[in-house]
A and B are shown apart, each in its own frame.
Chain A
Amino acid sequence: MNNTIETVTYIQDRLKVIVMNKPGFITKSALLSFPIGGLNQSYLKEGKKVPFEPGAAHFLEHKLFEDEGVELTDKFSKLGASANAFTSHTQTVYYYKTIDQFEENLKVLMNLAFYPNFTEEGIEKERGIILQEMASSHDKPFYKQYTKLMEVLYKNHPFAHDIIGDETSVSNISFETLKTIHNTFYQPEYATLILGGDDAFTEALKMLEAFPFKEATAFKKAPVENVLLKKAPPKVQEMTGDVHATYVLTGFRLDLTFETIKEEYTFFIALEMALEMLFGSSSDWVEEKLKQDIITESFFHDVHLDPSVAFVMMMSQTRKPEAFLKEMDKMTQAFDESLFREIDFERIKKAAIGDYILGNDSLNHLVVNRAYTVDDDITRDDIFNIQKGMHFEDVILAFKTFQNQSITSSVVLKPKTLE
């Protein structure tokens, strides 16, 4: 079903390289991932934890595209490639796609990541741009609603901070900070390079074997602070914003530990399947709540999983926020096994097969998707096999755990009263 062949190799016994051979596609892609994101706010120096400002990972991502005042995206463009980058909660990713001159572009990517050349002057300029990026987010009421929810669900935890930081933290990020976190996290031992396309990438691998990696530094990455409060967050908060309807966003935090990564993924895949059965577009619940005008077509649910952070989110535009909140409350109360039917379970499994096949048709999707799980060493095929092999009882158990263990909070966003 998947005609992509994946092989893993280590360059100079340091850099992990995943080759995804995808026949028939003329585009080739390279993606370099580093394990630093919004959750990382400290490094280890001689065994001691040294904190740095929230938003530093994202700031560094911006700066790596500078080469002594010149934008490196120009170099990629001149070589016929399209390049970009992003920072998530757990990683920073740099990638390009191209048809020709793959190795030349790869050289640019490797130098960008391992031999940065940004300047102090460039940092000041970038600070202004990032503050504008921040202003743009702050002008969006849904962003504010989401942030407010995370601030209470993950109080004291790095996840409560925006990936790009805040005005104070971004204003305090220095040239030295960026240099230090680069020395810490941008080491080949921590990185993963993914090469995708209709190629064995023999020339690229040869080039990488000769790449002059720097010696390992004395700095080490620190584990993410897991300082979740045991105290329950407020059940409901209200806020107003420049919106024309009421929207309720509910988060269900899950603080669970697992023996192995596979166990963790199996649980959350089972939970996703349970939620899809109960609250997906083909569920009785959605049909009923639409008829009762408690939700609208905007209703969605989502499962978010990162190291030390796992939650379920549900949101809807609603004319009956109290009724919606009651429904969210019911989620974590009495378990009703009759809601789970094998026929729905089989349907969800078939849907997963279709999604998997559809995903095979996009090289970008395959490569970026692979990047999300590099640190856990779980492939897309592993996830698909877990879905295929899932048992009905596992799904019910996952939902029971969700019900028993969730810590819940909601934010109700209402329109500002017109003056």
Chain B
Amino acid sequence: MDVLHVKATHFQTTQINLRFFTSLKQPDNTVFKLMLAMMNQKNQMYPSRKAWKSRLKSIYNMRIGASSSRLKDLLISDFKMTLIDPSLVSEPHAYFYEAMDQLLNHPLFDEESLTFEKGALHDEFLTKKSSKSYRAAKILTDSLFKDHPYLIRTAGDEDVIDSVTLELIKKAYQRLKEAPVVMSVVGPLDEKEIKALIDHLKLSPKETFKKPGLIKQDIPLLKLAPVKNDMKQLLMYEVYQTHIYPDEALHLAYDIFSYMLGGDSESILFKTIRETHSMAYSVGATSLDDFGVLLIQGAIDPQKKEVYKEELKAIMNRLKNGDFDESLLNQAKLSRIEEIKRNTDNKSALASRAMHQFLEGWPFDLEDLIEPFYHITKEDIIKVALKIEDKGSFEFGAVHE
């Protein structure tokens, strides 16, 4: 088993992630979602929601639970535990390891629990659909990525929920136990205690972790009719194919490009769309790296739609022509570098850095990590901009005929 250990004694708690990797396909995404929800509610020693939650509260409100996420075409079942330094509360480490053992190794799968979690997942979808931005994003991504292998959502599929059986749940759990697992530990916990935890959990995956390759697939031209909704604002999405993927040399320059464009209050979008034209309160850029896609989203004044679209076109053209001040690039580099430095004080960011080192071979050491950013040039940014291809736009909300 791979263990990524970041010893950081300035923290008083240790964040431990146990990530199990299985293949992401349907209906497994929904089955695993339900399985993890059932594991979060109860287990053999604490066979009711109340009993389990009471136990966690009594061990200093220990944060512990499982959730799912995606890594390329793999489903990650992430068991996360935040461990208080036991010496602060005069308790032994095993006191807390027992909870992780119960969660991971002694699940209680029964029909009552499955029925409850199915209902809860349906409710979750109802609440998500009550958010206009969620609905808009779903319509957009369903259209853009409908033939893409990465579209399978780890949040599950609403129309599959009712068909999941207890048998499928138990089979999924077996697959989980045999799946490759990577552990990351960030905080004051020492090697001896990490070994004690691994021994306590009796982890013995049957497979070793194999790093997944990246499936690169272009998105089609967007042909989505505007969706009218009774809103004051218009949600605008501009979609671009970047043709730049995380495993490519130009990706670092793209990282800075997207920061320059829509990262923060000094970004081009913020300054132009919000501060200069007062067209929007919220505007920004999101990178969907695995898809090679850049999204610019804005919640705008519907009267200013045409001006907004023209302005975005003008911004992209200026970037392609190199018609921008180098100070913008230097500022984006500085901000990005400082952000990475500050992440040393954040356990989740450190865990993420350790995973990137393990998965992609990125440096972990801070100086090695930020060094390449200093060498990104204006020519690199122009190269990135020239690769970016406009794939269309989508409107949701206060659509005017």
The chain A residues found within 8 Å of chain B, CB to CB, are 1, 3, 23-27, 71, 73-74, 77-78, 80-83, 97-99, 125-130, 132-133, 135-136, 138-142, 241-245, 280-284, 286-287, 290, 293, 296-298, 317, 344, 346-348, 350-355, 357-358, 360-363
Q: Is B130 within 8 A of A125, CB to CB?
A: no
* Chain B residues numbered 102-155 whose CB sits less than 8 Å from any CB in chain A: 116, 119-120, 123-124, 126-127, 129-132
Q: Residue B71 at the A interface, CB < 8 A? A: no
Is B334 in contact with A77, judged by CB distance below 8 angstroms?
A: yes
Q: In the assembled complex, which residues on chain B have CB atoms less than 8 Å from the CB atom of A242?
A: 130, 132, 229-230
Residue of B11, B12, B233, B276 with highest tally of chain A CB at under 10 A: B12
Contacts of A80 in B (CB 8 A): 334-335, 338
Beyond A27-B344, A73-B266, 6 additional contacts (C-beta under 8 Å) are A74-B266, A99-B338, A280-B57, A281-B53, A297-B124, A350-B60
Does B165 make an interface contact (CB < 8 A)? Answer: no
Other-chain residue from A27, A142, A282 in contact with B50 (beta carbon distance below 8 A): A282
Q: Is the CB of B341 within 8 A of A244?
A: no
CB distance from A416 to the nearest CB of B (A): 9
Contact yes or no, B265 A71, CB < 8 A: yes
A82 with B338, Cβ < 8 A, contacts A133-B281, A135-B233, A361-B347 known: yes
Interface status of B98 (Cβ within 8 A of chain A): no
Do residues B49 and A290 form an inter-chain contact, with CB atoms below 8 A?
A: yes
Determine if B171 is an interface residue (Cβ-Cβ < 8 Å): no
Residue of A nearest to B330 (CB): A78
Q: For A319, give the chain B residue with the smallest CB separation.
A: B123
Question: Is the Cβ of B10 less than 8 Å from the Cβ of A77?
Answer: no
Which residues from chain B contact A361 at a C-beta distance below 8 Å? 11-13, 347
Given A245-B130, A297-B120 in contact, is the A129-B13 Cβ separation under 8 Å?
Answer: no
- Separation of A112 and B248 alpha carbons in the complex (Å): 42
11 CB-based A-B contacts, threshold 8 Å: A80-B334, A125-B278, A129-B274, A129-B281, A132-B233, A242-B130, A298-B127, A350-B60, A354-B84, A358-B13, A358-B61
Would you call B256 an interface residue if the criterion is a C-beta within 8 Å of the partner chain's C-beta atoms?
no
Cβ of B365 to closest chain A Cβ, rounded Å: 14
Complex CA distance for A233 and B265, rounded to whole angstroms: 42
In the complex, A71 Cα to B274 Cα: how many Å?
12
- The CA-CA distance from A108 to B82 in the complex, in Å, is 37
| Set of chain A residues within 8 Å of B48, measured between Cβ atoms | 287
B338-A81 in contact (CB<8A): yes
A141 and B133 alpha carbons, distance in the complex (Å): 12
Q: What is the distance, in angstroms, from A351's C-beta to the closest C-beta of chain B?
A: 4
- Known A-B contacts A82-B339, A141-B130; the reply to A283 vs B281 at CB < 8 A is no
How many angstroms between the C-alpha atoms of A108 and B203 in the bound complex?
53
Q: B341's contact among A3, A26, A128, A141, by CB below 8 Å, is which?
A: A26
B191 at the interface (CB under 8 A from A): no
Could you say which of A23, A135, A281, A282 contacts B301, with CB atoms under 8 Å apart?
A: A135
Question: Which B residues fall within an 8 A CB radius of A?
Answer: 9-13, 48-50, 53-54, 56-63, 82, 84-85, 88-89, 116, 119-120, 123-124, 126-127, 129-132, 229-233, 264-266, 271, 274-276, 278-282, 299-301, 331, 334-335, 338-339, 341-342, 344-347, 397
Among B60, B280, B347, the residue within 8 A (CB) of A357 is: B60
CB contacts (< 8 Å) of B131 on chain A: these are: 140
In-complex Cβ contact of A136 among B120, B123, B281 (8 A): B281
Q: A245-B127, A296-B120, A350-B57 are in contact. Are A26 and B266 (CB under 8 A)?
A: no
Is B54 in contact with A282, judged by CB distance below 8 angstroms? Answer: yes
B130, B230, B347 pick with most chain A CB within 10 angstroms: B130
- B59 near A350 with CB under 8 A, answer yes
In the assembled complex, the Cα of A140 lies from the Cα of B278 at a distance in Å of 21
* Min C-beta distance of A195 to chain B, whole Å: 16
- In whole angstroms, how far apart are the Cα atoms of A130 and B274 in the complex? 10
Contact of B275 with A71 in the complex, beta carbons under 8 Å: yes
Measured in the bound complex, the distance between the Cα atoms of B300 and A245 in whole Å is 27
Cβ of B399 to closest chain A Cβ, rounded Å: 13
Q: Which of A129, A138, A287, A317 is B126 in contact with, Cβ under 8 Å?
A: A317
Could you tell me if A317 and B127 are in contact, using CB atoms closer than 8 angstroms? yes
Smallest distance from the beta carbon of B283 to chain A beta carbons, Å? 10
Q: B61, B132, B231, B341: which contacts A354 (Cβ < 8 A)? A: B61
Question: In the complex, which residues of chain B have a beta carbon less than 8 angstroms from the beta carbon of A317?
Answer: 123, 126-127
Collect the chain A residues with CB atoms within 8 Å of residue B119's CB: 293, 296
